[in-house]
A and B are shown apart, each in its own frame.
Chain A
Amino acid sequence: MKRLQLLVAIAGLALIVTACGGSTASTEPSGKPAGWLDAVGEGEGALNLIIWEGYAERGAVDPAYDWVTPFETATGCKVSTTSMTDSANGVQLLQSGEYDGGSFSGDASVRLMKAGDVAPVNVSLLSNYANVFSGLKDKAHNSLDGVPYGVPHGRGANVLMWNSDVVTTPPTSWDPVWEGGSAYKGKISVYDSSIYIADAAIHLMATQPALGITDPYQLNDAQFAAAIALLEAQRDNGAVYWGTAADQITSFASGDLVVGTTWQYQANMLASEPKVKIATTLPAEGSTGWSDTWMMATKAKHPNCMYLWMDHMMSAQANGQATVWFGEAPTSQAACDYAETISPGHCEQFHATDEAYFEKVWYWSTPQADCADADAATSCKDQDAWVEAWTTLRGN
């Protein structure tokens, strides 16, 4: 009996170990990259997406904002979504192999492209791609060697949000969450992700130019240490960290928190809250931000549905609705025109064509050991170091 059990155990483990040893191929025998489509066929009936909260609405919150149901009716692809908490979480979700694709920011998209987790997109199959602003095509965060790996969803900046009953003078800089934070002890709201270290770096670019920060995502040891010191001071001012948009919305709605960093989405949700008065701004130092891309997983089980979805999300109606709902800039003039019909002044408010505005916005990107430049002499803190520093900051 004992020997039998042992044998079963060993056989079982051997099975597991061999099953784990499989490797991925980057190209198919035909010479085409993995996941490449030559034609969009009939939808497969289902689509599993990783999204940012608010990126796929089916009218559940406000019946006027529904761009999923029309898609399902037209294509027969039933949409299921999972919200990511931050970009690293999105990468992990996609690598699980359960999803057809998702809406990724720059700090996830580049990693996914380089790892071969997402497939290059045959944009000639997407009729709405031609309408997209040229300023959003062929960028480092959505293309590799000139080949697009996805289509844009929208872009925007992380903004400063405050409760104007408590913060009576409208702030113009990030000071209330950093040095001026002692005035709002225990009422500061901060994004709970290692990428937030870049927000500290952006503030340092303005307040401590001697550090010589040129890119808030590529920091050397001294610059990184200064950013962490700033974050520690913020934490000791009683910062409260939000993991999901819903989390932050409840805290502001109840008046627990009064100032902090947010996506425009939360401010839009709070606009209907009668008890609190919420305002936002893009502070003078600039800010972190995102330019999101719909990408298809190399191992997508429903590639036709994914192509149909990518095309749908560039259509005037879907993109107009989605960007008004979340509070970000649409990706085409047609979408802008549609957005104006539901929210007049939308494209001007979110600077859809204002490249000068977006020059103040540092899109989320991945911290790299080589500082993401060609200079071999420089070295920077990589993604792992950022994550570990964040664990240390939050764990103590």
Chain B
Amino acid sequence: MTLIRRLVQWFSRRPRAALSAQLAGPFGWILLIYLGSLFVLLLHAFWVKDSFTGKVEPFVWTLEAFGQVLGNPVYLTIALRTILIATLVTLTDALLALPIAYYMSRVASPRTRAILLVGITMPLWASYLVKVYAWRTILQGNGLLSWLLGPLGIDGPGLSEIWSTWLVLSYLWLPYMILPIFAGLERIPNSLLEASVDLGGSAGMTFRRVILPQLLPALAAGSIFTFSLSLGDYIVPDLVSDAKFIGNVIYDNSALGNFPVAAAFSILPVVIMLIYLLLARRAGAFESL
């Protein structure tokens, strides 16, 4: 008892020490477990691997893995394809989310708004894999999509085209775009829109000159989700198309025992995301998360 009391007294006189002790747990977690494992992963990129047994030789340093990644143009092709699809998914989601979020925040009655909000967040309750497999049955030959498009004489993308990946990823991450934009629109006072109309601004001009600039941080925040989630996904490309993404190459190489190449290549999405986050911070995204 006295020990605890003395400890309490000691800490009460030293607020800085008390703060450090309180933060030691969460900080230790982030440093050791979270950043530590990331650090070990990056170390693998510099280690030698035995080609036959597939074992990595720790602390034997080499740049071979980087040479392999940089020396083969296919890795660049894969990176560009992934970035392209992630960008397209982000744009698609932004285009779809804007009218939905606008309707929810400005037009819909509170009741409709509640129903829409539940409807948008509902898919998040279902397992990611279940949703992807549902899309497989929609996309496959004789599936729902080819049945719908058949009378129009159009073939569905099937399960081998890269466009299936774009479609499914856009579906999966749409709620993550709608919600920040909805929150962003809620924050714009009605009086601003009224002022714009009073001053003779058309609907298009009000949108471009008043809403969009104020919505930019929310758009950037939503795009962080859609872009980074698409950039890192490897299950959707594998299940609904035949295309290889950055994540697939990392997965394939780690599953095939070429851990150094997987580690070297995984530095790329980290760098892309760092740049992206810096740009998003400039746009004020972190204030509207």
A114 touches B257 (CB 8 A): no
Of residues 229 through 276 on chain A, the ones whose CB sits less than 8 Å from some CB of chain B are 238, 240-241, 243, 247, 250-251, 254-256
B252 partner residues in chain A, CB cutoff 8 A: 387, 391
Assembled-state Cα–Cα distance A366/B51 (Å): 10
Question: Which of B20, B27, B50, B54 has the most chain A CB atoms closer than 10 A to its own CB?
Answer: B54
A91 touches B257 (CB 8 A): yes
B77 touches A396 (CB 8 A): yes
B53 touches A13 (CB 8 A): no
Of residues 360 through 396 on chain A, the ones whose CB sits less than 8 Å from some CB of chain B are 366, 368-369, 382-384, 387-388, 391-392, 394-396
A47 to chain B, nearest CB (A): 23
Q: Please pick, from A89, A241, A254, the residue contacting B143 in the complex, using a CB distance under 8 A.
A: A254
A88 partner residues in chain B, CB cutoff 8 A: 54, 255-257
Label chain A's interface by main secondary structure.
helix
A114 touches B16 (CB 8 A): no
A12 touches B28 (CB 8 A): yes
Assembled-state Cα–Cα distance A4/B22 (Å): 13
- The interface bits of chain B over 221-251 (1 if a CB of A lies within 8 angstroms of the residue's CB, else 0) are 0000000000000000011001010000100
Interface residue stretch chosen among A14-22, A152-160, A341-349 = A14-22
Assembled-state Cα–Cα distance A395/B69 (Å): 13
A284 to chain B, nearest CB (A): 29
A368 partner residues in chain B, CB cutoff 8 A: 52
B249 touches A9 (CB 8 A): no
A388 partner residues in chain B, CB cutoff 8 A: 68, 72
Assembled-state Cα–Cα distance A91/B259 (Å): 13
Question: Which of B58, B142, B242, B253 has the most chain A CB atoms closer than 10 A to its own CB?
Answer: B242
Of residues 3 through 34 on chain A, the ones whose CB sits less than 8 Å from some CB of chain B are 4-5, 8-9, 12-13, 15-16, 20-21
Q: Please pick, from B16, B74, B77, B256, the residue contacting A92 in the complex, using a CB distance under 8 A.
A: B256
B136 partner residues in chain A, CB cutoff 8 A: 250
Q: Please pick, from A256, A366, A394, the residue contacting B158 in the complex, using a CB distance under 8 A.
A: A256
A254 touches B255 (CB 8 A): no
Q: Please pick, from A89, A251, A366, A395, the residue contacting B159 in the complex, using a CB distance under 8 A.
A: A251
A13 partner residues in chain B, CB cutoff 8 A: 36, 39
- The interface bits of chain B over 14-43 (1 if a CB of A lies within 8 angstroms of the residue's CB, else 0) are 001000100010011001100111011000
A323 partner residues in chain B, CB cutoff 8 A: none
Q: Please pick, from A115, A194, A394, the residue contacting B54 in the complex, using a CB distance under 8 A.
A: A115
Assembled-state Cα–Cα distance A369/B20 (Å): 56
Does B78 sit within 8 A of A, measured CB to CB?
yes
Does B140 sit within 8 A of A, measured CB to CB?
yes
B244 touches A395 (CB 8 A): yes
Category for how many chain B residues contact A: 35 or more
Assembled-state Cα–Cα distance A254/B72 (Å): 37
Does A74 sit within 8 A of B, measured CB to CB?
no
B159 to chain A, nearest CB (A): 7
Q: Which residue of B lies closest to A395 (CB)?
A: B74
B39 touches A92 (CB 8 A): no
Does A54 sit within 8 A of B, measured CB to CB?
no
A238 touches B160 (CB 8 A): yes
Does A1 sit within 8 A of B, measured CB to CB?
yes
A369 partner residues in chain B, CB cutoff 8 A: 51
Q: Please pick, from A95, A392, A394, the residue contacting B72 in the complex, using a CB distance under 8 A.
A: A392
A137 partner residues in chain B, CB cutoff 8 A: none
B263 to chain A, nearest CB (A): 13
Of residues 133 through 184 on chain B, the ones whose CB sits less than 8 Å from some CB of chain A are 136, 140-143, 158-160
A366 touches B52 (CB 8 A): yes
Q: Which residue of B lies closest to A250 (CB)?
A: B140
Does A317 sit within 8 A of B, measured CB to CB?
no
- The interface bits of chain A over 54-83 (1 if a CB of B lies within 8 angstroms of the residue's CB, else 0) are 000000000000000000000000000000
Does A164 sit within 8 A of B, measured CB to CB?
no
Q: Please pick, from A254, A391, A396, the residue contacting B140 in the complex, using a CB distance under 8 A.
A: A254
A60 to chain B, nearest CB (A): 18
Does B276 sit within 8 A of A, measured CB to CB?
no
A384 touches B51 (CB 8 A): yes
A–B complex contacts, Cβ < 8 Å, 6 sampled: A194-B256, A241-B242, A256-B140, A256-B159, A384-B51, A388-B68
Interfacial residues, chain A to chain B (CB-CB below 8 A): 1, 4-5, 8-9, 12-13, 15-16, 20-21, 85, 88-89, 91-92, 95, 111, 114-115, 117, 186, 194, 238, 240-241, 243, 247, 250-251, 254-256, 366, 368-369, 382-384, 387-388, 391-392, 394-396
Q: Which 6 A-B pairs have the closest CB atoms?
A: A115-B53, A256-B141, A88-B256, A12-B32, A395-B74, A392-B74
Interfacial residues, chain B to chain A (CB-CB below 8 A): 16, 20, 24, 27-28, 31-32, 35-37, 39-40, 49-55, 58-59, 68, 72, 74-75, 77-78, 136, 140-143, 158-160, 238-239, 242, 244, 249, 252-258
* Interface contacts beyond A1-B16, A91-B54, A382-B52: sample of 4 additional A-B pairs, CB < 8 Å, sorted by A: A114-B52, A251-B159, A254-B142, A396-B77
